[in-house]
């Protein structure tokens, strides 16, 4: 769905709110990880970084020259504009907390990747203990996601890529469109969002390590 990024942040907030119950908190974290995995595949990460690089260097409105956005209705464009503006505000208001969280847990995740005997659940427990820094950020994104007309945007995606498009193709296209609107409304937040992407990438690697 086009609001996966808001689902991720909402799950962060929910997990923190229930941290007094360890088992339930770990369940929320596992759901969070699985959601991040759907969003932050390697192909999406490459697409995102390329998109942000072009936005940062090109100037102007990146939505104006996007052929897929040109196919969208004015109503859908307005909805995307509203959603991305809200996301930009969250990144601007809570960028310091997001950065502090990622700066704390990213070295732990990378260290876990380097060890052969890493227990992924132990590392997840440490990450959960640091999630207080993400609470405000997660709650902000959740509120933005709650206000999105998801049915409208899903219908627009069907017009752009067809009814039976592959899930990865759909998610890649969604991210390209979201990034275009983020680039229009807050290109300076690139480094802040990059932190969140780095976190997602390392969590994916940890999940894959747990399957070995």
pLDDT the model gives residue 90: 87
pLDDT the model gives residue 60: 58
* pLDDT tens for each residue of 144-170: 877 788 888 888 888 888 877 777 777
The structure's pTM equals: 0.62
Neighbours of 126 (CB within 10 A): 13
Could you identify the residue written with the tokens 């998610």? Answer: 171
What tokens were used for 195? Answer: 């932190």
pLDDT the model gives residue 211: 62
What tokens were used for 120? Answer: 């992924």
pLDDT the model gives residue 190: 66
pLDDT the model gives residue 22: 41
Helix (H, G, I), strand (E, B) or coil at 130: coil
Alpha carbon dihedral 183, 102, 86, 135, in 10-degree steps, equals 180
Q: Cα(109)–Cα(162) distance, rounded to whole angstroms?
A: 38
Q: Cα(53)–Cα(107) distance, rounded to whole angstroms?
A: 25
Tens of pLDDT along the chain (212 residues)?
Answer: 444 455 445 545 544 454 444 444 444 444 454 444 444 334 444 444 444 444 444 455 667 777 888 888 999 889 888 888 888 898 899 888 888 888 998 998 888 888 877 787 788 778 877 877 778 888 887 888 777 888 888 888 888 888 777 777 777 777 778 778 877 888 888 677 777 777 877 877 777 776 66
Could you identify the residue written with the tokens 């209705």? Answer: 73
């Amino acid at each position: 769905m086009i609001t996966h990024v808001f689902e991720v942040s909402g799950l962060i907030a929910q997990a923190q709110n229930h941290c007094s119950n360890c088992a339930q908190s770990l369940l929320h974290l596992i759901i969070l990880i699985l959601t991040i995995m759907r969003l932050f595949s390697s192909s999406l990460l490459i697409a995102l970084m390329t998109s942000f690089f072009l936005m940062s260097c090109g100037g102007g409105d990146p939505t104006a020259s996007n052929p897929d956005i040109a196919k969208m209705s004015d109503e859908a464009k307005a909805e995307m504009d509203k959603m991305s503006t809200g996301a930009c505000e969250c990144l601007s208001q809570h960028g310091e907390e997001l950065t502090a969280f990622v700066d704390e847990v990213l070295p732990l995740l990378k260290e876990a990747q380097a060890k052969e005997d890493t227990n992924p659940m132990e590392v997840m427990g440490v990450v959960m203990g640091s999630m207080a820094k993400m609470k405000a950020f997660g709650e902000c994104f959740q509120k933005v996601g709650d206000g999105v007309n998801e049915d409208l945007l899903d219908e627009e995606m069907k017009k752009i890529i067809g009814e039976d498009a592959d899930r990865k193709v759909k998610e890649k296209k969604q991210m390209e469109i979201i990034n275009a609107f983020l680039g229009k409304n807050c290109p300076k937040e690139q480094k802040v969002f990059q932190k969140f992407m780095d976190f997602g990438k390392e969590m994916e690697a940890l999940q894959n390590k747990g399957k070995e």
